[in-house]
Chain A
Amino acid sequence: MNILQVSARLKALARWVKQSVQKNLNSIFVVLGFFLFWEAVVWIFQIPPFILPAPSTALSHLLFPRADANYRWSYHISSTVLAIGLSFIATSTVGILIAIALAWSKRLKEIVLPAFVFINSLPIIAIAPIILLWMGYGVFTNMVIAFLVGFFPVVINTITGLEAVEEDLLDLVRYLNASKLQVFLKIRIPNALPYIFSGLKICSTMSIVGAIVGEFIASDRGLGYIIINAQYSMNTPPIFSSLILISLAGALLFTLVSLLERILMPWTALEAEP
Chain B
Amino acid sequence: MHGNTPLLSIRDLKKVYKTRDGELEALGSVTFDIYPQEFVSIVGPSGCGKTTLLKIIAGLLPKTSGEIFVDKNQFDPSREVGFVFQKPLLLPWRKVIDNVLLPIEILKLDKRRYIEKARALLELVGLSGFENNYPNELSGGMQQRVSIARALIHDPKLILMDEPFGALDALTRERMNLELLRIWSESQKTILFVTHGIQEAIFLSDRVIILSARPSRMIKALDIELPRPRTMEVRSSAEFGVYSLEVYRCLELT
Contacts and interface: CB of A to CB of B under 8 A. Distances in A.
Interface of A: 1-2, 5, 8, 166, 168-169, 171-178, 182, 186-187, 190-191, 193, 265-267, 270-271, 273
B78 to A, nearest CB: 4
Q: Which 6 A-B pairs have the closest CB atoms?
A: A177-B78, A267-B134, A175-B58, A176-B106, A190-B93, A178-B106
B81 A270 contact: no
Interface stretch (B16-24, B84-92, B204-212): B84-92
B78 A176 contact: yes
A203 B92 CA distance: 26
16 contacts: A1-B129, A1-B133, A5-B130, A5-B137, A8-B137, A168-B87, A169-B89, A171-B83, A175-B83, A177-B78, A186-B102, A186-B106, A187-B91, A265-B93, A270-B137, A273-B136
Interface in B111-157: 129-137, 154
A57 to B, nearest CB: 50
A175 B78 CA distance: 6
A257 B87 CA distance: 33
A5 B133 contact: yes
Interface of B: 55, 58-60, 77-78, 81, 83, 85-87, 89, 91-93, 102-103, 105-107, 129-137, 154
Given A1-B129, A176-B106, A177-B78, A273 B91 contact: no
A177 to B, nearest CB: 4
A171 B55 contact: yes
B121 to A, nearest CB: 16
B8 to A, nearest CB: 15
Contacts of B78: 175-177
B136 A267 contact: yes
B80 to A, nearest CB: 10
B93 A176 contact: no
Nearest to A183: B106
Contacts of B60: 171, 174-175
Contacts of B133: 1, 5
Contacts of B92: 267
A171 B129 CA distance: 29
Contact of B131 (A1, A173, A190): A1
Contacts of A191: 93
Nearest to B134: A267
B106 to A, nearest CB: 4
Contacts of A171: 55, 60, 83, 85
Contacts of B130: 1, 5
A172 B132 contact: no
Contacts of B91: 169, 186-187, 190
B23 to A, nearest CB: 22
Given A169-B89, A190-B93, A175 B129 contact: no
Given A171-B85, A176-B103, 12 more contacts: A1-B132, A169-B89, A169-B91, A171-B83, A172-B102, A173-B102, A175-B78, A175-B81, A176-B78, A187-B91, A267-B92, A271-B136
A133 B121 CA distance: 65
A172 B84 CA distance: 9
Contacts of B134: 266-267, 270
Nearest to B83: A175
Nearest to A175: B58
A191 B107 CA distance: 21
B195 to A, nearest CB: 18
A239 to B, nearest CB: 45
Contact of A186 (B105, B129, B154): B105
A190 to B, nearest CB: 5
B143 to A, nearest CB: 13
A172 B136 contact: no
A183 B172 CA distance: 33
Nearest to A171: B60
